[in-house]
Amino acid sequence: MTDFGDQATLTIDLDALVANWRRLGALAPAAECAAVVKADAYGLGAARVGPALFAAGCRRFFVAHSGEALALRAALPASTGAIIHVLHGPGPGGEDDLAAAGIVPVLSTPGQIAAWQAAARRAGRALPAALHIDTGMNRLGLTAAEADQVTADASRLDGIALEFVMTHLACADEPEHPLNTQQRDRFAAWRQRFPGLKGSLANSAGIFLGPDFHHDLLRPGIALYGSNPLGPAAGPRGDAAKMAQVVHLQGKILQVRSVDSGMTVGYGAGYIVEKPSRIATIAIGYADGFTRSLSSRGFAVIRGRQGHMRVPIAGRVSMDLITLDVSAVPDGDCRPGDAVDLIGGGVDIDAQAATAGTIAYELLTQLGRRYRRIYTGAAA
């Protein structure tokens, strides 16, 4: 691949993505494995991620907004039978457009149900939808009282062809949290009210909670993209949920300089050099989504001839640049033009997110637009 002199490269491995999707599906062989590709596939590009998963056999996708659904529809091969669900449901007035595009919304309020029914009447046919019932998250979904009303009177769903009923776990990444089994049991009880209808409960972490969380349809997001859904805090138990690495963010070294003790590095002069040091300047900053909270806390990895060397970020992350203390790295392994890993490669995405005080979800969805993006793998 030609290098145009780009100083920051984001490589997205579509083979690893597909391997993760297959692996999650294999954990629940009786269930269908969908893919959550909201927020532009967690920042990685839904127009590339969607078709790659489709080619691997994925036939069901979840996005958050109607606009994302219509964009994904256009990116997937035409009339393929891929089903796209909008987690937020149709926006008021957007029902007819969604119905015409064959998008299947997730309905979460009595108002959305009524509006989708009205759209079905206008269309002169039953319209497919999914139903979201809240079981403890208190964010989206019918409340227990609303769900009671809807299930008590079958006419409330006239004209709607329900494909499945779903709920969402609040604490799936904390396997011992009591809310997990409460939500599981509440969901099982709700499903009794919809005999024969499919159910969907598990996000990425939920898949690892065991078979009674699987139901008929899995909704993984973050694990597809290479983050361990049980998080870095899960310890040895988390090893079971280690995913193939999808994202590799590399920045190039622009300069390496010697700095005497007593001098400072970067804005605010807050990083004081205690002994003569070498500082490497890298062409990535907060404008690229490399968050400022990594200032003097985050790290990079230099892949030297003696192996991987972890080097600390020295001083503040600025808009276009970061500075690394590379004093411990042999000269020959750290020259202008050399690449350093900031996410992926030698850097665990969840560890970098944790040092930033956030989670891989946020690190990925903030990734900037200025990187040279390279998609690799058979589907690229």
Which residues contact ligand PLP by CB under 6 A?
36, 38, 87, 168, 203-205, 219-223
Q: Say if residue 319 carries a ligand binding annotation.
A: yes
Q: Choose between 70 and 205: whose C-beta lies nearer to ligand PLP.
A: 205
Minimum distance from CB of 37 to ligand PLP (Å)?
Answer: 10
DSSP 300-317: EEEEETTEEEEEEB-S--
Q: Which residue is catalytic, options 198, 242, 267, 361?
A: 267
Closest to ligand PLP by CB, 82 vs 284, is: 82
Provide the minimum distance between the beta carbon of 267 and ligand PLP in the complex, in angstroms, as a whole number: 34
38 catalytic residue (yes or no): yes
Yes or no: say if 168 and 205 are a contact pair by the CB < 8 Å rule: no
Count Cα atoms within 13 angstroms, Cβ side, for 366: 18
Give me the least distance between CB of 347 and ligand PLP, in Å please: 20
Catalytic: which of 38, 225, 252, 286? 38
60 marked as part of a ligand binding site: no
**Shortest distance (Å) from residue 291 CB to ligand PLP:** 19
20, 142, 224 from 16: Cα distances, Å: 6, 36, 8
- Of the pair 129, 205, the CB lying nearest ligand PLP is at 205
How many angstroms separate the CA atoms of 135 and 66, rounded? 24
Are the beta carbons of 343 and 249 closer than 8 angstroms?
yes
Strand, helix or coil at 346? coil
**CB of 50 within 8 A of CB of 61?**
yes
Name the residue whose CB lies closest to ligand PLP.
221
Would you say 301 or 364 has its CB closer to ligand PLP? 364
Q: How far apart are alpha carbons 119 and 91 in whole angstroms?
A: 12
Annotated binding site for substrate: 139, 319
Residues known to be catalytic? 38, 267
